[in-house]
């Protein structure tokens, strides 16, 4: 496990201290939970953009996200992210799906 140290201003410290007291926990625990939530949101925003631009694969985005695969797909859908595939691949995929459907009928 790694340790991260950073400075915060007095107002932020007072807010953390109040929240920690309210929840009967430590300032470190509150800070860690806040960081985890914010990191997830920031990371998902960046992963979604990188995936849309073709900079990372779906598998890479999934591994980096730390989410179950279905949850990653939900996050991408919420952001309106479409797979970065060419029109040719999209058309071929459609044709294959159509042929499979015909075979199964």
- Domain boundaries in the chain? 10-104
CA distance 71 to 8: 33
Q: Which two tokens stand for residue 43?
A: 């990371």
The answer to whether the predicted template modeling score (pTM) of the entire model surpasses 0.85 is: no
For residue 90, pLDDT over 70 is answered with: no
Contact 64, 43 (CB under 8 A): yes
The predicted-structure confidence for 11-64, as pLDDT tens digits, reads as follows 999 999 999 999 999 999 999 999 999 998 899 999 999 998 889 988 999 999
Which residues contact residue 67 at a Cβ distance below 8 angstroms, ignoring those fewer than 6 apart?
Answer: 75
């Amino acid at each position: 496990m790694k340790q991260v140290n950073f400075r915060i201003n007095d107002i932020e410290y007072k807010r953390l201290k109040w929240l920690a007291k309210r929840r009967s926990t430590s300032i470190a625990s509150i800070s860690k939970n806040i960081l985890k939530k914010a990191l997830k949101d920031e990371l998902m925003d960046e992963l979604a953009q990188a995936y849309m631009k073709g900079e990372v694969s779906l598998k890479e985005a999934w591994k980096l996200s730390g989410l179950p695969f279905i949850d990653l797909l939900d996050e991408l859908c919420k952001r309106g992210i479409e797979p970065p595939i060419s029109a040719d691949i999209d058309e071929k995929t459609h044709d294959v799906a159509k042929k499979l459907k015909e075979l199964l009928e």
